Amino acid sequence: MTLLAIISSLISVLNPIGAVPMFISFTANRSAEDIKKIAIKCTIYVTIILIISFLSGNIIIDFFGISINSMKIAGGLIMLISGIAFLNSKNETNRGIDKKIKFEAAEKEDISFTPLAMPLLAGPGSMSYLISLNIGSLSTTEIVVTLSAILIVCVFILIVLLSSRYFNKLIGNSGMVALSRIMGFFVMCIGVQLIYVGIKNFFPSI
């Protein structure tokens, strides 16, 4: 895959714009300096999670004895379900955030890893997508391209989080929901493509 294709896919799956309302909610009582530190730490954690997910592709396949095509189909199903959730979403529950997690976040000193980095941003969809990219034999160029895409996307996430309050005022909650649903549509498309490739490889005659 090209650099641009991976970047667009990751942005769709991670959907940082859709995470803005929850980020604002979780940091409502924090100072501007604290919000900046939380955004930076959250982005670092997301970067680490995504890189580990990508590099662990073959290790997971070998350890569990899973076929490449099974992983693609399973990852595609996860992304398809996530995309449907985004399309139907009006709140944070479809991002793995429930009332209990919100209450814990309000009590926690450091919320940058949980619930912000995981599961709000780096969830099963993005992790399974990256794992599916590193199954089999990749060239050095392909590995560098994917890692570069991850870093570029994480820089974008940092910019979105740091400007979250301005961004929220600019397009409002209805705009956030609309953008989240658009991202959900693309996540569904990526999921369907992964499922199609996996099934096609299982049954070459299709």
| Start-to-end Cα distance in the chain | 23
Whether this model's pTM surpasses 0.85: no
Question: What was the pLDDT predicted at 206?
Answer: 58
175 Cβ contact list (under 8 Å, min separation 6): none
Quick check: 38 and 164 in contact, CB under 8 A? no
Question: What was the pLDDT predicted at 151?
Answer: 97
Question: What was the pLDDT predicted at 91?
Answer: 47
State the 10-residue block means of pLDDT for the chain, 206 residues long. 89 88 85 92 96 86 79 84 75 52 58 86 86 81 95 96 86 76 84 88 72
Question: What was the pLDDT predicted at 93?
Answer: 43
What torsion do the CA atoms of 182, 7, 59, 124 make, to the nearest 10 degrees?
A: -20
Question: What was the pLDDT predicted at 104?
Answer: 54
Alpha helices in the chain (DSSP H): 3-14, 20-26, 32-55, 57-64, 68-88, 99-107, 124-133, 140-162, 164-202
Question: What was the pLDDT predicted at 170?
Answer: 81
Quick check: 156 and 14 in contact, CB under 8 A? no
Task: Compute CA 162 distance to the chain's CA centroid, rounded to the nearest angstrom.
Answer: 18
21 Cβ contact list (under 8 Å, min separation 6): 92, 168, 173, 176
How crowded is the C-beta side of 75, counted as CA atoms within 13 Å? 28
Question: What was the pLDDT predicted at 49?
Answer: 94
Question: What was the pLDDT predicted at 150?
Answer: 97
